[in-house]
Amino acid sequence: MKQVPLFINGEWVESTSTRKIDVTNPATQEVIAQVPCASPSEMDAAIESAKATFKTWKEVAISERARVMMRYAHLLKEHQEELANIICEELGKTHEDAMGDVWRGIEVVEHAANIPSMMMGETVENVARNIDTYSYTQPLGVCVGITPFNFPAMIPLWMFPLAVACGNTFILKPSEQDPLCPTRLVELFEEAGAPKGVLQVVHGDKEQVDRLLHEPEVKAISFVGSVGVGQYIYKTGTDNMKRVQAFLGAKNHMVVMPDANKNAVINNIVGASVGAAGQRCMAISVAVFVGEAKEWIPEIREKLAAVRPGHYSDPEAAYGPQITPQAKQRIEGLIEQGKKEGANCVLDGSNFSVEGYPNGNWVGPTMFTDVSADMEIYKQEIFGPVFLTMNVDTLDDAIELINNNPYGNGTSIFTSSGGAARKYQHNIEVGQVGINIPIPVPLPFFSFTGWKGSFAGDQHAYGKQAVKFYTETKTITARWFEDDVAASAGPNMSIT
Ligand code: NAD
């Protein structure tokens, strides 16, 4: 059985731990590897190496740190297909979706190659007579990343390239459910010229995360994952005086105005709701139809009914399986609950089967209409291919409904009215807004800015905010005396 190694002080090592977790192919249940829960001494070694390496890495010229990122971006592009194939096997994504997962990460690495201009400080001359003030941004030290299963390339790449480019060292704790893609990402980082000790990889679950949360040498923690775990990490990390950014769950709404382009609405809803098996924190899980727009609901149902999940080797598959049998069971439980609560299940993907893959965690496209805000299917993040529709009379009603939802990751409005779009973007309490764009994930020169229950912290992922998150500002106020300059110029020399 393939054992997933740890990466400590620049060496790939097999863990001595006997506690291991199976990594399975979710389309077949075949165990493809085992991931160890790193032992306390392995955790100590990773922390010690990260701490020691920080002293030398922060002194490396910023342009050399940028060059590592340039080489890394090239290598990732060369290996994009290979990385996507790993994702297909351990997570079940379709090939196209897996390629997108890697590509979104590559874009962040390209952005990290701009680090010299992003780390520039500020200067003001003559804050008082002969006194200047200027600031530098300096790295923090050892930073940590704890990542979820659903984007095993993109999300680790949201974190360590920027943290390391800033001059920090980094400990990555990838999801135990799909650690093989992150392993390959780190091998390529080493190949790109990242010095020994700059990046460590430890594996495990709560026990290993707790070790990092209580370690004084860890200065900052980036987390992406579920609400309960993220809140725990935010609270425990900040209690231990660490900087924490935690990207959490979501419930994303699309508002459909009656003046919207109907074809665009229908085509975009299908991919945005059930695409990637609904395992996207930016998936559109609820559409809110304003007024007459609800008349398009039957056509949307027809389109969704034609969507088929399948194995990644099938180019016709629209999406893959859920990550685990437990995830499938939970989603099917919520579908049952939705029916009991009185929502209208117009498409039921429970007990779905895919020919040739009887053991896959398949859930077919599912759609509920007439959903209300008090139902469990509305309140919970389902994280599956389950699409809900709600009806309201006015745009104001839609805004009120969405603002009352505890999450605030992403939203979109489909309309042909500039006025409606402007009103929506201004009033909606959600951090990422699409106008006739269903999933408005910003490119890396902006930041990934979820709000409310979808985020805990101050500075968001990538963009300028990530550089702020991974650095500290040092402000220097300096005075030089003219007498001293004259003295140092020597007795026979003039300084004028
Ligand atoms: P998860 O919370 O189960 O796991 C995330 C990480 O936390 C993993 O590395 C896991 O090992 C670790 N972990 C799990 N339980 C822990 C515990 N008790 N203590 C400490 N660490 C623990 O999340 P997941 O199921 O892998 O990912 C899906 C979730 O991630 C969804 O809720 C989704 O919305 C969210 N997500 C959010 C964003 C965003 O940007 N807001 C992006 C992607 C995913």
- Lowest-confidence segment of 38-47, 296-305, 380-389, 485-494 by average pLDDT: 485-494
pLDDT score for 484: 78
ipTM of the complex: 0.98
* C-alpha 146 – ligand 1 centre gap (Å): 8
* C-alpha 157 – ligand 1 centre gap (Å): 16
pLDDT score for 14: 97
Site to substitute for ligand 1 among 101, 150, 222, most atoms within 8 A of C-beta: 150
- pLDDT, one tens digit per residue, over 336-345 is 999 999 999 9
pLDDT score for 493: 56
Shared domain check, 270 and 229: no
Give nearest CA residue, ligand 1 atom 18. 206
Q: Given pLDDT bands bounded at 50, 70 and 90, which one contains residue 485?
A: confident
Give nearest CA residue, ligand 1 atom 39. 247
In this prediction, residues 80-85 reach a mean pLDDT of 98
Shared domain check, 359 and 335: yes
Q: Is residue 154 part of a domain?
A: yes
H/E run at residue 465 = helix 463-469
Q: Report the nearest atom of ligand 1 relative to the CA of 205.
A: 11
Q: Is residue 46 part of a domain?
A: yes
Given the structure tokens 């990644």, which residue do they identify? 312
pLDDT score for 327: 98
The answer to whether residues 78 and 32 touch, using CB atoms and an 8 Å cutoff, is no
CATH of the domain at 276: 3.40.309.10
Percent of the chain with pLDDT over 90: 96
Shared domain check, 154 and 63: yes
* C-alpha 247 – ligand 1 centre gap (Å): 9
Residue 77 predicted with pLDDT over 70 = yes
Shared domain check, 191 and 56: yes
Site to substitute for ligand 1 among 281, 432, 448, most atoms within 8 A of C-beta: 281
Give nearest CA residue, ligand 1 atom 17. 206
Domain count, the chain: 2
Residue 246 near ligand 1, beta carbon < 6 Å:
no
Residue 179 near ligand 1, beta carbon < 6 Å:
no
Q: State the CB neighbour count (10 A cutoff) for residue 74.
A: 15
Q: Is residue 496 part of a domain?
A: no
Shared domain check, 140 and 40: yes
Shared domain check, 134 and 61: yes
Site to substitute for ligand 1 among 23, 91, 205, most atoms within 8 A of C-beta: 205
The pTM for the full model equals 0.96
Residue 65 predicted with pLDDT over 70 = yes
CA–CA separation, 177 vs 420, rounded Å? 42
Given the structure tokens 């900087």, which residue do they identify? 243
Q: Is residue 296 part of a domain?
A: yes
Residue 495 predicted with pLDDT over 70 = no
Residue among 186, 183, 205 nearest 194 (CA): 186
Q: Is residue 157 part of a domain?
A: yes
- Lowest-confidence segment of 179-193, 287-301, 473-487 by average pLDDT: 473-487
For 378-406, the DSSP string reads HHS---SSEEEEEEESSHHHHHHHHHHSS
Residue 226 near ligand 1, beta carbon < 6 Å:
yes
The three-state secondary structure class of 218 is strand
Chain centre distance of CA 450:
10
* C-alpha 280 – ligand 1 centre gap (Å): 12
Distances (CA, A) of 133 to 37, 118, 119, 482: 49, 19, 17, 18
Q: Given pLDDT bands bounded at 50, 70 and 90, which one contains residue 482?
A: confident
Residue 225 predicted with pLDDT over 90 = yes
Q: Is residue 278 part of a domain?
A: yes
Q: Is residue 41 part of a domain?
A: yes
pLDDT score for 489: 65
Shared domain check, 108 and 174: yes
| Torsion of Cα atoms, 432 then 425 then 463 then 77, to 10° | 60
Average pLDDT, the chain: 97
- pLDDT, one tens digit per residue, over 440-466 is 999 999 999 999 999 999 999 999 999
Domain carrying residue 67: 2-249+450-478
Annotate 175-203 with three-state secondary structure: CCCCCHHHHHHHHHHHHCCCCCCCEEECC
CATH of the domain at 89: 3.40.605.10
Shared domain check, 195 and 339: no
CA–CA separation, 390 vs 367, rounded Å? 11
- pLDDT, one tens digit per residue, over 406-426 is 999 999 999 999 999 999 999
pLDDT score for 494: 53
Q: Given pLDDT bands bounded at 50, 70 and 90, which one contains residue 100?
A: very high
Shared domain check, 356 and 396: yes
Shared domain check, 271 and 163: no
pLDDT score for 179: 98
Cα-trace Rg, the chain: 25
Residue 241 predicted with pLDDT over 60 = yes
- What residues are labeled active site? 281
pLDDT score for 486: 67
- pLDDT, one tens digit per residue, over 249-295 is 999 999 999 999 999 999 999 999 999 999 999 999 999 999 999 99
Q: Is residue 426 part of a domain?
A: yes
Q: Which amino acid is at 219?
A: K
Shared domain check, 391 and 299: yes
Sign of CA dihedral 432, 438, 443, 444: positive
For the stretch 108-141, what's the b/e string if a residue is b when 16 or more beta carbons lie within 10 angstroms of its beta carbon? bbbbbbbbeebbeeeeeeeeeeeeeeeeebbbbb
Shared domain check, 362 and 260: yes
The answer to whether residues 398 and 290 touch, using CB atoms and an 8 Å cutoff, is yes
